[in-house]
Structure 1
Amino acid sequence: MTATRQGKPRVLVAGNWELAGAVFDYAASRMIYASFDGLIMHPLEGGEPQPIAGTKDGDQAMPFDAASRWLVVRRVLGGCDRATAKIPDKYICLMQLPAVADDPPAPSPAQVSAQPSFDCAKARGITEQLLCARVPLAALDVELAGLYRQALERSANPGALKKQQLDWLRQRDQDCTAGRTLMQARAELAVDTCLRERYGARIRLLRGQVAPDIHLTQLQGRSAHAATPDDALPPRFGTPQAYAAVQALGDEGLIAGTALQLGKHLVWLSDQGRGNVILRAHLQGTPGTLDVQRGSWELVHLLHDEGHLIYPSDDGLMLLDLASGRAHRIRQTAMADLPLTWNPATRLLTWSSPRLCGITEGGNQLGPQQCSAVLDMPRR
């Protein structure tokens, strides 16, 4: 999104198509647009962009009356007040914006619930402050820190790995937040995207050192219309008991029908709005929840047995060992592959692919394929 004054355009914020819903406050000369922190008020005559209190990720600005400062907000998940906050439905909310002189300061790290791998009271630099202000990024930081600790324990040269990690941290800051204030970083969706990409790449690298890929044997391919094996374990819908247990954990995005009880683990999908879905797991009797995979509605293709989850990701199909907490990539699979059936007794997995089975790049002229293979499962 750009603004022009005296013929000189300047970039206000970089993001995605949600910026098409921005509205203009003529009385205060400021733009209102969506971000991962909720709606943002961005002054056009200088000054820092400010988050609008009471808004959240997924909110969309609608008609705005500049004279009275009443703003209509479309909320895709959760209600407009305490009575409806935990009801999973879409709402139209009405709120009055403050005058320019009354604009609230940005929330401090102490006022938000994000908890990365470090003490937010000692946060240094824009990137660390942003991690303390945004829960999804904090979750990625925690995941990376856990993999880094495991990699250090396994490394034959921990000194080299520590240097590599420090170099990565410096490059992360240079690529994503250099030259920005905290409020600019909070307002720009491109910063969030940059950090997610950098963390994702680093997590994949360390995961490969900690949890090696799973190899395939007896790989076969056929038309996508072929029948699935009769002895395969079909997907199972969630149970009411598991749904009630997950509700007690307070996840407002819980998708009905997806909660499963697998031994001592609860597993479910959480709708974060705007097509963002998280696969989550919780070991009963312990604090905290593990964000297993962040993606979109392709995660409804989740397969499982009592000890494993198989799900799609940008890197291909993944297998999570619930006992160890390690996620292994299944080799010869790639983005857009979707798991179909899983037989834990024979370790036979079937999945659909837009490519020839076993090929991880490009397409094919034969149409979608149904692939099957036996997994060489990792030892615990």
Structure 2
Amino acid sequence: MKKLLTFITVALFFFEISYSDNSDIYKKIDLFGEVLEKINKEYVNEIDQSKSMDAAINGLLQSLDPYSAYMTPESFEGMQTETSGEFGGLGIEVGMEAGVVKVISPIDNTPASKAGLKAGDYIVKVKNVQVQGKSLMEAVDLMRGPVGSSIEITVRRRGVKKALVFNITREIIQVQSVKSELVENNIGYIRLTSFNENSSDQIKKNIKKFNKNKDLKGFILDLRNNPGGLLSQAIKISDFFLENGEIVSTKSRKVSENRKWFAKKGDLTNGKTLVVLINYGSASASEIVAGALKDHKRAIILGENSYGKGSVQSIIPLKNRGAIRLTIAKYYLPSGKSISEVGVTPDIEVIESSENFKFNSETDNQLNFALKLLNG
């Protein structure tokens, strides 16, 4: 009987805690309704309550991390259109940092990269509209527009005192993820701008092509300004250069999301020297490849510290035909280290030598350093 009474007491205790927690949540919901009512009645300008609710939902998601966000039905439809691989725009990958829109990476040969936008730039104005305090989706909507139309963007850049103003004309963005050439007749140079469905097949073909050269000394894998893409492609591309071992793992609250991926036997480059170039615009899948090759001491990582986006986002549709982008897991390197907010540190730090460097040009300090390294 004593044991039964103890059990009932414990059960009641947990019920009280659970009820208390729910009661606090309901009080907060009531408080939110009261605040919304006060704003609607007292705020100096008349507000659109629907937009206010959207902003509140987005604020909740963005309080979690810079990558979680709410997409209205209109913005969700726009995102689905843009992922088709050809779209009108500026050619930049953006994120949020402390309420400010930040350039993760400009895409090669797009209006943004040609104009001179750089990874790490903070966008403060779009068409003379202050974007600080706006949601990421609101800022992106401001940057959208008809192909051929121009837009003025004001940015703040690390190390530059004055704000920089760029006038950019929107174009159809066609992303070609892989570029390659034989440099100095003995170095296989592969530039990867994003991880899309065909990236690994293209890189595999280029490796096989370079391997036919009897004088080949090594490879350069250029991941600078690569904002990432498909995890499956990052795993396949890492595997091309490894004989065995773990490539990456994910950890989540859900056991089903906890996974590990391993390399299969067979290094396609036959162990030739490999240099991987990274910079602040190298993010997500780029960091998985660079981090795995660094941890296995398979490559020399050269350049600047990478961006630090080591998390997995899932697009979850909602009943209103909108969606939320929600972080569901984090990436971990073979060493057990997380990439999130830390990034990958290069073995050899080489700062970019010019404001608007061009790959394979004489002014590309990082590439020239890599070529000297491979040629002894």
Which TM-score band (shorter chain)?
under 0.3
Instruction: Compare the two structures and name the one with the higher helix fraction.
Output: 2
TM-score, length of structure 2 as denominator length: 0.25
Higher relative contact order (CA 8 A, sep 6+): 2
Which structure is larger by alpha-carbon Rg, 1 or 2? 2
